[in-house]
Amino acid sequence: MKKPYQLSATEASKKIQANQLSSEELLRSCIERIEEKESSTQAWVETNFKAAIDRARYLDRSANQGLLHGLPFGVKDLFDTHDFPTRYGSPIYENNRPNSDAVHVSLMRQAGGILLGKTVTTEFATFKGGKTRNPRNPEYTPGGSSSGSAAAVADEMIPLATGSQTAASVIRPAAFCGVVGYKPTYGKISLGGAKSLSPSLDTLGSFSRTVEDAASCVAVMSGDTELAKIDKLSKKPRIGTCLTYDGHLASADTVAAIAHAALLAEDLFKVSVPEIKLPAIFKKMSELQGRIMWSESARSFSFEQTNHAEELSQQLRGLIKQGAAISYEQYNADLIVAEQARMSIDQLLSQEIDVIIAPSAIGEAPHGHTSTGDPIFCRVWTLMGLPCITLPLFKGPNGMPVGVQLVARRGRDRLLLSVADALLKAREA
């Protein structure tokens, strides 16, 4: 029999609604797990157990408040919270205490969620590794920038956590830690109260153990409650694989994972899963994503660069300088090419294919903690604004998780979730 902390969000919610489990019992189980594992995993920046218990007791006396009623969750320390410091992974904001919640945090509380604490982010959601360790093996990186959220869910401390992605910061840590990471269509979740990195790319997302949990979490975060209803597929989905033009960088275990996922889809849906070749315009798209990101970041961090440069990491100072050197003419030209590519991929995903199976990362999580891993296999999809989800379907030669990413057309989140849910359940069967 599962202990309460081992339950998925969906399982726990059903038990709470059936009066088989109280919110307080679930929360205390999660707290005990945190106390047991936090010293090794180091997923949290700050917690408030007393306030969370008070909230759980209140919810146990209350009528159902929504999809997250009685469920504890963690919030990446990139998002404002009125009752916790929000440091953005930087000493510059050590004493920063916002007066209000980020929009999605407020919505999660409104839906009955219990904010247990703030999870570790890398410095301003960039590349400097934080203190968090991968719970599958602490010698390996958990990925970033949403490292604490991915690790906390993977270590069964909480069933749900929030994150953000500008390049690969939801998909990659989820893949490295072996959990479900879901980045919805760009713009689906309000960025209000989130520290900006690159406004045209920043997208909020979730970490969970199941696709159902991810759907419910993002349904609340976005206000799109219909998203929580995972549809039974009325017709066979058109599925293809794509390693992108960066496919030569994929490890052998990742290539094998994509092939196995294709076979799984063929068997499950009784369809052919061909290899998809992206239009030629995508050859330089990863490079273009980087230029757009760092050009916008140089402006986003203008205050920090002007007033607190000495408190920025050397790596981030270098990237800001690199971004500032990109001319506005180049930036604007890149935006135009990106929009042309979006129209091209929209056409492909409407006329030829419904869901693409692609790598989540180069391979297993890299050994060590100096790097959070290469974001190369997420750059293109993030730039396109497409909904993406990574599934913990396989393991690599070191016994670490190897995620498989599914990608769909903009706005086709429900289709993406339906296919992902079916594949994950088939794999677990």
Residue among 13, 29, 147, 169 flagged as catalytic: 169
Residue among 23, 145, 164, 198 flagged as catalytic: 145
Signed CA dihedral, 146, 148, 149, 154: sign only: positive
Identify the CA nearest to 191 among candidates 166, 172, 170.
166
Residues in the chain: 429
Do residues 196 and 303 lie in contact, with contact meaning Cβ atoms separated by under 8 Å?
A: no
Do residues 110 and 135 lie in contact, with contact meaning Cβ atoms separated by under 8 Å?
A: no
Whether 145 is a known active-site residue: answer yes
State how beta strands 114-119 and 44-47 pair: antiparallel
Do residues 367 and 381 lie in contact, with contact meaning Cβ atoms separated by under 8 Å?
A: no
Amino acid, single-letter form, for residue 188: K
Q: What is the 3-state secondary structure (H, E, C) of 365-420?
A: CCECCCCCCCCHHHHHHHHHCCCEEEEEEEECCCCCEEEEEEEECCCCHHHHHHHH
- CA dist 292 and 330 (Å) reads 9
Contacts of 120 (CB under 8 A, 6+ apart): 42, 43, 44, 45, 77, 89, 130, 131, 132, 147, 148, 151
Residue among 15, 23, 37, 76 flagged as catalytic: 76
Do residues 359 and 402 lie in contact, with contact meaning Cβ atoms separated by under 8 Å?
A: no
The SS3 assignment for 279 reads coil
Identify the CA nearest to 198 among candidates 290, 100, 333.
290
Cis peptide before 145 (omega within 30 of 0): yes
Amino acid, single-letter form, for residue 34: I
- CA dist 24 and 11 (Å) reads 15
- CA dist 153 and 41 (Å) reads 11
Active site amino acids: 76, 145, 169
